[in-house]
Amino acid sequence: MRRFNIAVLAAVTLGTALSAVPAHAGDGGPPARGGSSVGEGGRPGLANCTADACHFDVPPGTYDVRVVLGGKTASATSVSGETRRALLPETAAPAGERVTRTFTVNVRTPEGEPTGPDGTPGLDLRIGGSAPALAGIKVTPARHTRQIFLVGDSTVCDQPGDPYSGWGQQLPQYLRKGVSVANYADSGESTVTFLGNPRLWATVRPLIRPGDLVLVQLAHNDKTTDEATYRANLETLVAGVRERGGQPVLVTPIVRRWFNPDGTLNNGTALLVNGLGVDHPAVTRSVAAERDVPLIDLTAKTKALVESLGVEGSKALYLTNEARDNTHTSVRGATAYAGLVRDELVTQHLVPKGKVRVG
């Protein structure tokens, strides 16, 4: 893949012949066709894209991305980036027409989980969808961006490989230009370890700016955390966000898929009551009420969805069939749960409705 450097602006316009090339994320397909087309700013049009991927040599930061979609035939294109983050849902363009979409993306090192590998420097985007057609792309440094920081565990994080996906990995596709997700969730973390690891809370906290949102969902790994400690840890996170001028949002944990014989979820394992009898969702709700913190009751919402789908239907949300895993979500499940979070962000006026994609 050929690359070029940008300091302030990166742009490329691709020929419509790309619409005939299927995109398969990760296969590094053939170079995009289109000859010597030149992108905005006079830069070589095809220098940083192949048929299914683009790379921009940018330093860590936040960037606005503008894509122009469409070709000679009807198309349907999606965009993902970095560590499998969904950035733009599949978007249709009628034959011969162009559709423009924008989004904002966070570029950092490590690019996925904070304790994981560094990943590839710069911004990597994957062009997918059932009939992809990328007609143009422009990347510029974002000037007015509100960050949504995510503090969480493996059910939230940017999972590095299929079939796993955290809901935080799917959330960016629901947000428009001007709002970016900085997902610092990390596999295996509890409230104790997230606060104690210098690569986690000590790294996130200084990055918070006035007006930023910080969503906190930690509970799955607090199996041996007593109630007083769990409560104190949540309060510490809330206070730390507020000291930086940010807006903390407490999120109760997604349910585990463990059913009772009557088709309801188990009150212990499924609803995150640990071996010490600590009811994590209840404590989270209590801290939110006492500290006047917005609450996204994802436990209640995921419980309702899982129970409505039933024992068989809910398997598709988790990795039950693939890995006998009833805690971690599939792409389908993570996408559905990210949609629940999006809805609450809008309902509670935490993110303006105009900054959110509904479909």
Tokens describing residue 112: 């996925």
Q: Give pLDDT, residue 45.
A: 37
Q: Which of the listed ranges 3-7, 104-108, 136-140 does the model predict with the highest average pLDDT?
A: 104-108
> Which pLDDT tens digit goes with each residue over 19-62?
222 222 222 333 332 222 223 333 333 478 888 999 999 999 99
Distance CA 347, CA 332 (A): 23
> Which pLDDT tens digit goes with each residue over 155-168?
999 999 999 999 99
| Terminal Cα distance for the chain, rounded | 33
DSSP string, 269-292: TTTTB-TT--BHHHHHHHHHHHTT
Distance CA 322, CA 87 (A): 25
- Average pLDDT in the 183-193 region? 98
Residue 69 has pLDDT above 80, yes or no: yes
> Which pLDDT tens digit goes with each residue over 101-114?
999 999 999 999 99
> Which pLDDT tens digit goes with each residue over 226-251?
999 999 999 999 999 999 999 999 99
> Which pLDDT tens digit goes with each residue over 299-344?
999 999 999 999 999 999 999 999 999 999 999 999 999 999 999 9
pLDDT band at 359 (very low <50, low <70, confident <90, very high): low
Q: Minimum mean pLDDT among 18-22, 267-271, 272-276: which range? A: 18-22
Residue 281 has pLDDT above 80, yes or no: yes
Residue 88 has pLDDT above 50, yes or no: yes
Tokens describing residue 264: 């309801």
Residue 15 has pLDDT above 60, yes or no: no
Per the CB < 8 A criterion, the answer to whether 200 and 114 are in contact is yes
Distance CA 70, CA 19 (A): 7
Query: What is the pairing mode between strands 134-141 and 61-69?
Result: antiparallel
Q: Give pLDDT, residue 27.
A: 29
Cα–Cα separations (whole angstroms), residue 332 to 93, 169, 181, 328: 23, 12, 19, 11
CA atoms within 13 A on the CB side of 353: 2
Distance CA 28, CA 282 (A): 47
- Average pLDDT in the 140-156 region? 96
Residue 284: which residues within 8 A CB-CB, separation 6 or more? 219, 234, 250, 251, 252, 253, 295
Please give the DSSP secondary-structure letter assigned to residue 72: S
Domains and CATH numbers, the chain: 10-25+33-141 (2.60.120.260), 146-350 (3.40.50.1110)
Residue 1 has pLDDT above 60, yes or no: no
